[in-house]
A and B are shown apart, each in its own frame.
Chain A
């Protein structure tokens, strides 16, 4: 079983739809959870960064973390064609010390297309 599972899609939705993306993981030591957006031939862009369980909202984006279920989600409201990209979840154990604990483990990414 891979450490982080993410449905690669592709996922195609009409403009204005609510998009739900998710990842599951197996390492209970993960504490920091991130969502990155990657456009074709570009580097990943940080969208959301959360610590431990709970919800975080930023504009049209909401990130949810359920550590008890080892499940994280990203919701995009009022999706736009400009949201078309690959969305990568990433997580790390993180700590205030230690050389390797903040290495990221990525999902494979979900390719999203928002159709006008």
Chain B
């Protein structure tokens, strides 16, 4: 159980293009989803937290107009990198968390999306 699917796994596009990444919880309802960015040989850096039906909360230094997050349903969140530039090239990973029975549950991660901007 607790499978998180992320799509696409790899995308290459030209500078100035907008790219959408999808994150789905396949066998549970995710009240909260998270978006991370990971640079080579570095740990995960939290970009934003999104709760279903409300605006995402962005971490300090993350441009909300650059990284648009939509969490329209309990099983789907999307991250859109708008007008992407080479410096946006990175490994983006989503995670999802369900809160059940009043107890905190751990985050389960997708397999990540490798974004390369030419």
Q: A interface vs B, CB < 8 Å?
A: 8, 32, 34, 36, 41-46, 49, 88, 92, 94-96, 99-100, 102-104, 106-109
Contact = CB atoms under 8 A, between A and B. Distances in A.
B114 interface: yes
Contact of B109 (A32, A45, A92, A108): A45
A102 B93 contact: no
Given A44-B44, A44-B93, A108-B43, A100 B104 contact: no
A34 B105 CA distance: 11
Contact of B108 (A46, A95, A109): A46
Contact of A46 (B34, B91, B106): B106
Interface of B: 2, 4, 6, 32, 34, 41-44, 46, 49, 51, 57, 91, 93, 95, 97, 102-104, 106-112, 114
A106 B106 contact: no
A43 B104 contact: no
B114 A43 contact: no
B56 to A, nearest CB: 11
Main secondary structure of the interface of A (DSSP, over half): loop
Contacts of A88: 43-44
Contacts of A95: 104
A27 to B, nearest CB: 15
- 6 A-B pairs with the lowest CB-CB distances in the bound complex, closest first: A43-B109, A94-B104, A106-B43, A43-B111, A49-B106, A43-B112
Contacts of A103: 34, 46, 49
Contacts of B112: 41-43
Contacts of A100: 49, 57
Nearest to B104: A94
A88 B57 CA distance: 24
Contacts of B109: 36, 43-46
